[in-house]
Structure 1
Amino acid sequence: MELNTIIEIFKNPYVEAALIFLLFVVIAKTVAVVLRKYLKKITEKTKTKFDDVLLEKTEPFLTYVIVLIGVRFVLLHLGIMNLLISRIINSFIAILVVYFVIILIEMFINFWGTNWAKRTQSGVDAMLPLVHQLSKVVLIITCLMFILNIWDKDITGLVAGIGIAGIVLGFALKDSLSNIFGGISIILDKTYRIGDRIKIDPGESGIVYDISLRSTKIKTWDNDIIIIPNGMMANSKIQNYVQPSIKSRGVIEFCVAYGSDVDKVKRVIIEAIKKVENVLDEPAPSVYFSKMNDFSLDFDAKFWVDDVAKRYGTKENATSVIYKTLKKEGISIPFPTRTVYLKK
């Protein structure tokens, strides 16, 4: 075959188009080899698996995008690139980009969001599925609007339809949305966490067993599980026994008879409480003369423990010690009396 014939063949526009496409395929394969052979060695040396998975997901995405760009150049070279084909290619690129972003968000949530939530024990992991789904919906709607714009379609009707649908769904799911936003508020505000001991007005109390977007589960002291909607929890008065510190104070009310030596009562009770197991030296136990009642002198004995879980058992022991100390010291413990005068 003569050289001129070969040159004429390569001057053929279809052959040139095939060579252009082949060039882009080679570029795509080269990028894939670089990612797989060289960058993978770097990612394997890191402690996290995030970069390994990111590299694995990036390779096919870049390959498809480069090939689509090559198809675009081929069609331009052949002069058959019309508005329809251009719109189709641009739509595919938009779909690929959105799909890749969704994968990135999912990876971020799985690797960083979940690990961070478990490490901080913040309960944010309950929000992660909602964040994932909402981000997917937003990205898909954005992609749809972008594609409609590529095809010169009016998106005003779509935006209005989405707004109307949102209003209708908002009314239909009012209670569910109230619970979900209540759950988000509780988690972000860190009102309580799993394992916290809480008391809810008007009286339910126990340990937080689980927090989801819809409800909070509380294990009572009788080992029952109470499920309370987060909308109700967000609007309730909640007493958290472990925030800001797990250290807790116990108070014991007791009384002695009139005529007792107030200073002696305070001294002997303080010394007795100091010897009770789990009572902290700092802050030191204290006894306050609180009230002169109708038939007694009332006192408050206060002490601290390093964990609220120890408070009730320590309070029982301390109450027993106070009773025994008063009895040992000969200090009378009064009881209600009433004197009746009979007039003849």
Structure 2
Amino acid sequence: MNSISEIFNFILENIYLKFLLILVITLIIAYLVKLILNKVLKPIAKKTKTKIDDLIIKSLSSIVFYIILVLGFKIGFQHFDFQTAIFNSLISTLLILIVSILILRIITNFSKHWLEEWAYKTKSTADDRLIPLLEKISKVIVVILAVIFVFDSWKIDISPLLATAGIAGIAISFAVKDSLSNVFGGIQLVLDKTFKVGDKVKLESGELGVILDIGLRSTKLKTYDNEVIYIPNGILANTKIKNYTMPDLSIRVNVDFGVEYGSDTHKVEQVVLEALKKIDTVLKEPVPVIHFLKMSDFSLDFIARVWVENYTKAYSTKLKVTDEIYNALNKANIGIPFPTRTVYTKSSD
């Protein structure tokens, strides 16, 4: 026991042997950490539903060995007399570079995962472009931060450079303000899931059509006149949008009609309801309803309300409902009024 203690003290008194001991311990720790990641944590991560832990472990296992090794070298070299500020800066720079590479790998793995699991499954091209864009922005931020930390490790004052970059950034942001507004608007539309490709929408400004594509800067809307409208995403993000496909594809169709004064309102309702049963696109649930709304100047105003299973059938169903109501009223001898004006003349005699 005393011999082991003597050997250990001898090693600690010799800086070279002490360095080798630290290096060996570091290698053992690095190997054990890598072994735990690959043999223990990786199988556990594969059993979970999410793939995020798999990606993190995959990225760590490929580079954590070198991070621990560099830390071991840094600790070991602290006991040498030739240690200088330059040496410490070199070790810190190497450590910063390895950590930066690790973060960049994690960003790349996450980007590939999101593209495979999310973006490629949607018809929109916004998320296909958004994820690579965010990946590049994230990598640029990591590189910039790495450069700043490297300069700091070498005691280089970069305050004037940061001030200049800040002023340049403000000037550039003002120059591309509209473009940035459209890009962030596209991000907001994708994250909020306001609509998707194929949805029928109506804008606050009156445009009605089907979404062809959601791009990063603009969205394509195809009208029913076969025209394509390109709308900046910045405008769409700040306007009211009626989405006919939400919360589901079913939609109500309303048809206004009027009958002449003196008509039996109950008979009108029965006649029209029987006529609506002939239309196969009209759903039985919710049941069709007829409402007597008001007594206008020359007619009794009604509204027929029916439901269809898909908004694509709404217009054709409305035409059928209008036709059936007209024919049913005529067949039942219920008059359909038109604007009339009675003129009274007074003789001067």
The Cα of 1:86 is off from its aligned counterpart by 0.6
The alignment status of 1:317 with 2:320, answered yes or no, reads yes
Q: After the TM superposition, which of the residue ranges 325-334 and 218-227 deviates more from structure 2?
A: 218-227
Q: Write the letter of the residue equivalent to 2:139.
A: K
* 1:17-74 deviation line (CA, Å, top 9, x unaligned): 4565455445544544554455555555566655554444222311221221233244
Q: After the TM superposition, which of the residue ranges 264-273 and 73-82 deviates more from structure 2?
A: 73-82
Q: After the TM superposition, which of the residue ranges 119-128 and 168-177 deviates more from structure 2?
A: 119-128
The Cα of 1:94 is off from its aligned counterpart by 1.7
The alignment status of 1:81 with 2:64, answered yes or no, reads no
The Cα of 1:165 is off from its aligned counterpart by 1.9
Q: Write the letter of the residue equivalent to 1:86.
A: N
CA distance in 1 between counterparts of 2:43 and 2:236 reads: 50
The Cα of 1:116 is off from its aligned counterpart by 5.6
**Contact preservation (8 Å) 1:295, 1:336:** yes
The residue aligned with 1:147 is 150
The Cα of 1:139 is off from its aligned counterpart by 2.7
Q: Map 1:229-248 to 2 at 5 A.
A: 229-248=232-251
Q: After the TM superposition, which of the residue ranges 236-245 and 324-333 deviates more from structure 2?
A: 236-245
The residue aligned with 2:136 is 133
Give the one of 23, 36, 59 matched to 1:57: 59
Q: After the TM superposition, which of the residue ranges 68-77 and 261-270 deviates more from structure 2?
A: 68-77
**Contact preservation (8 Å) 1:123, 1:193:** no
The residue aligned with 1:4 is none
The residue aligned with 2:159 is 156
CA distance in 1 between counterparts of 2:76 and 2:253 reads: 81
The residue aligned with 1:92 is 94
CA distance in 2 between counterparts of 1:12 and 1:181 reads: 61
Q: Write the letter of the residue equivalent to 2:68.
A: I
The alignment status of 1:216 with 2:219, answered yes or no, reads yes
- Provide closer, same or farther for how the CA distance between residues 42 and 285 of structure 1 changes in structure 2, counting only shifts above 3 A: closer
Q: Percent identity?
A: 44
Q: Map 1:279-294 to 2 at 5 A.
A: 279-294=282-297
CA distance in 1 between counterparts of 2:191 and 2:36 reads: 42
* TM-score (ref. length: structure 1): 0.81
The Cα of 1:167 is off from its aligned counterpart by 0.7
The alignment status of 1:187 with 2:190, answered yes or no, reads yes
Q: Map 1:1-344 to 2 at 5 A.
A: 17=19, 20-21=22-23, 24-25=26-27, 27-37=29-39, 39-43=41-45, 50-111=52-113, 115=117, 125=127, 127-337=130-340
Instruction: Describe the SS at the equivalent of 1:331.
Output: coil
- Provide closer, same or farther for how the CA distance between residues 324 and 181 of structure 1 changes in structure 2, counting only shifts above 3 A: same
**Contact preservation (8 Å) 1:123, 1:187:** no
The Cα of 1:277 is off from its aligned counterpart by 1.9
CA distance in 2 between counterparts of 1:289 and 1:97 reads: 74
CA distance in 1 between counterparts of 2:47 and 2:188 reads: 40
**Contact preservation (8 Å) 1:194, 1:209:** yes
The count of aligned residue pairs is: 337
Q: Write the letter of the residue equivalent to 2:246.
A: Q
**Contact preservation (8 Å) 2:211, 2:220:** yes
Q: Write the letter of the residue equivalent to 2:327.
A: K
The Cα of 1:239 is off from its aligned counterpart by 2.0
The Cα of 1:152 is off from its aligned counterpart by 2.3
* TM-score (ref. length: structure 2): 0.80
Instruction: Describe the SS at the equivalent of 1:78.
Output: coil
CA distance in 2 between counterparts of 1:49 and 1:86 reads: 38
* 1:197-240 deviation line (CA, Å, top 9, x unaligned): 10123332112222233111223334543321112223333222
RMSD of aligned alpha carbons: 3.6
